[in-house]
Amino acid sequence: MRYHLTPVRIAAINKASNNKCWRGCGEKGTLVYCWWECRLVQPLWKTLWFEQKREKVRSLTMCGHVGFESLPDQLVNRSIHQGFCFNVLCVGETGIGKSTLIDTLFNTNFEDQESSHFCPHVRLKAQTYELQECNIRLKLTIVNTVGFGDQINKEESYQPIVDYIDAQFEAYLQEEMKIKRSLFNYHDSRIHVCLYFISPTGHSLKALDLLTMKSLDSKVNIIPVIAKADAISKTELHKFKIKLMSELVSNGIQIYHFPTDDETVAKINASMNGHLPFAVVGSTDEVKVGSKMAKARQYPWGVVQVENEDHCDFVKLREMLICTNMEDLREQTHTRHYELYRRCKLEEMGFADGGPENTQFSLQETYKAKLHEFCGECRRKEEEMKQMLTQRAKEKDALLREAERELQAKFEHLRRVHREERAKLEEKRRLLEEEIISFSKKKATSEIYQNQTFTATGGHLKKDKDHKSSSFM
């Protein structure tokens, strides 16, 4: 509960007989009545009393200096010693100027290799650098989307980005849930801000841009920027900004708005929210402008100065992103986006804040309940598997029996055919044997007849020869 200072009217009592309550309730009483029993002030005291009674906190006044006023200094010294980390995700088409803008933002050269336009799929490349400004150390991680928007089929181009962000949340959650965790030394790789680069078409957002930002707005702080803003005129750029913001609102895309609850930066943040999306130009080349050197882009028609607010919004982006709201981006990532992921993940695992009657229960009870539920689910699935296996075994057995019957019938049919064929062959064999015997008999008879004929013919020839011989003599 917050306590605010409330102006209180101070009464000046001129006459002792004037005992009316100065708060205007119309009642008469003493000073004690006016402070404790007046019906106008009683609700306030009741609220404070019950709040303190509920929290069991007493406010005390110290009699002297203690020293815990140095806690902010201790926190600052510890943070400086530990260092800071900041992770930036750059989403945009190949060649739109992501690496050049990052080099210009942090006033250094990260020596990033140029990407090809012929990547078969989208992949994310993360590189971590150690930067130091004065005595402040910053561990900066730049995550670049290689091949984004280069494919003919762009339907799933945003999915690797979503998976990467969820993977970093999951890694942090696993580190939190360890028994021996070391979050102090853990390298936080969660994405703190997404710079979404929009092509300076001057018309409207592409379907891929809308789909990607809609998928990312609940997972990361999105700051849309119009890349290569020197490609269109100021009038076209102004109309393009209005068109983009109207499309974002109509499609329900939540981009990151600079906070206005802090009075120290509320005015400038509210002013900068009206300049979204930022139209930026990046360059690491220095060009002589007048009598001094400045980062700019040299064209045949003139010079575009990067740090000139009349030329582009680069200074506004750097001021809002790095100088003013870097810590808020880190805090929003932890308290909003990561907490949303963590809550959904724990709810999927069966954890909750309270029972049916909003009663708190321990982690062990939650684990036992989840284990019991999981064991019941396993038993139920085991029974289903057994029933399914039994049913499949019965079906398989029926199929095997049917196949066996079919094979038996086919066997009997083939056996019957074989018997018939064998009987036919036996009959043919018998007939053949009979023909052979008949032929043998005929052959024997023929041979006997031939022998008799030969013998008779030989006798006649001999008689004729003898007769001829005798006649010559």
Chain segment 380-427, per-residue pLDDT in tens: 999 999 999 999 999 999 999 999 999 999 999 999 999 999 999 999
Q: How confident is the model at residue 297 (pLDDT cuts 50, 70, 90)?
A: confident
Burial pattern 226-240, b for ≥16 Cβ within 10 A else e, equals: bbbbbebeeeebeeb
How much is the pLDDT for 33?
44
d(CA 261, CA 269): 10
Ramachandran angles phi, psi of 5, nearest 5°: -75, 125
For strands 123-133 and 136-146, give the pairing. Answer: antiparallel
Laid out side by side, the sheet with 286-289 consists of: 286-289, 292-299, 302-305
Q: What is the mean pLDDT of the chain?
A: 80
Say which residue the tokens 């400038």 belong to. Answer: 268
Q: Give percent of the chain above pLDDT 90.
A: 16
DSSP for residue 338: I
Q: What pairing do the DSSP bridges indicate for beta strands 292-299 and 302-305?
A: antiparallel
CA distance 19 to 28: 5
Model confidence over 167-180: pLDDT tens digits? 999 988 888 888 78
* Residue 316 and residue 272 in contact, taking contact as beta carbons nearer than 8 Å: yes
| HEC string for 275-329 | CCCEECCCCCCEEEECCEEEEEEEECCEEEECCCCCCCCHHHHHHHHHHHCHHHH
Q: How far apart are CA 115 and CA 254, in angstroms?
A: 30
Q: What are the Cα distances from residue 76, in Å, to 71, 131, 137?
A: 9, 18, 13
3-state DSSP call for residue 95?
A: coil
Decide: pTM greater than 0.85. no
| The pLDDT of residue 262 is above 70 | yes
pLDDT in tens, 120-153: 788 888 888 888 888 888 888 999 888 887 777 7
Per the CB < 8 A criterion, the answer to whether 237 and 230 are in contact is no
Instruction: Write the pLDDT tens digit of every residue in 431-460.
Output: 999 999 988 888 888 888 888 877 776 666
| Residue 359 scores a pLDDT above 70 | no
Helix, strand, or coil here: 194? strand
What is the reported pLDDT for 35? 46
